[in-house]
Amino acid sequence: MQRRTSNVLALTIALCFLVSTCDSNALYDVYKSVPDKWHKDSIASFNFKAPDTINNYDLHLQIRNTNDYKFSNLFLIVELNYPNGKAVKDTLEYKMAAPNGELLGAGFSDLKENKLWYRGFKTPFQFKEQGDYIVNIQHAMRKNGDVNGIVNLEGITDVGFRVEQAKK
């Protein structure tokens, strides 16, 4: 019993160390769960304060998906709202699978995590205004040849947004 307790304690300490060292430069890192399917009108919204107006930052969209995701790419409509009311809206495409169909992303099981560069801006990004920013993300998927988009997108479990200190 003593040995098992010490093994569990060592594992817990190691996990805490890994978690704290991996995300040391994340200033904002939030996920929103997607119920069973991601409806085309459902918007994941993220509200955060600009860290400052001097330093450079990397902005990332984050997607968690399962093997139920049946596409090789992902189209997202992303809108960044500035404190002064200005809004920048882009439709972005991300590669989600290798040519052989294997899903990309980090993860050991059928759940994959993709950290996608927010390509709507030159990088690195500098917040020009102090205050609250809002990022809205929704999917814009459609099957080839279909005019109407996919109403309920399967396989996406979480949508996230991350702001981190730019690497020098």
* DSSP secondary structure of 95-111: E-B-TTSPBPSB-SSS-
End-to-end CA distance of the chain: 48
Q: Which domain holds residue 70?
A: 27-165
Instruction: Tell whether 5 is covered by a domain.
Output: no
The whole-model pTM stands at 0.82
How far apart, in whole angstroms, are the C-alpha atoms of residue 65 and residue 93?
16
* DSSP symbols for 27-81: EEEEEEEPPSSEETT--EEEEEE-S-SSS-EEEEEEEEE-TT---SEEEEEEEEE
Instruction: Tell whether 1 is covered by a domain.
Output: no
Instruction: Tell whether 98 is covered by a domain.
Output: yes
Q: For residue 52, which of 168, 130, 167 has the smallest C-alpha distance? A: 130
Number of Cβ atoms within 10 Å of the Cβ of 25: 13
Tens-place pLDDT, residues 107-148: 888 899 999 989 766 678 999 999 999 999 999 999 888 888
Residue range 49-69: mean pLDDT, rounded = 95
Contacts of 116 (CB under 8 A, 6+ apart): 60, 61, 62, 63, 94
Q: Write the CA distances from 98 to 47, 72, 109, integer angstroms.
A: 33, 7, 17
* CATH code: domain of residue 83: 2.60.120
Instruction: Tell whether 157 is covered by a domain.
Output: yes
Instruction: Tell whether 129 is covered by a domain.
Output: yes
Instruction: Tell whether 75 is covered by a domain.
Output: yes
Instruction: Tell whether 82 is covered by a domain.
Output: yes
How far apart, in whole angstroms, are the C-alpha atoms of residue 159 and residue 30?
8
Q: What is the mean pLDDT of the chain?
A: 86
Tens-place pLDDT, residues 22-50: 556 799 999 999 999 999 999 999 999 99
Query: What's the total number of domains in the chain?
Result: 1
CB 165 within 8 A of CB 57: yes
Higher pLDDT, 88 or 8: 88
Instruction: Tell whether 114 is covered by a domain.
Output: yes
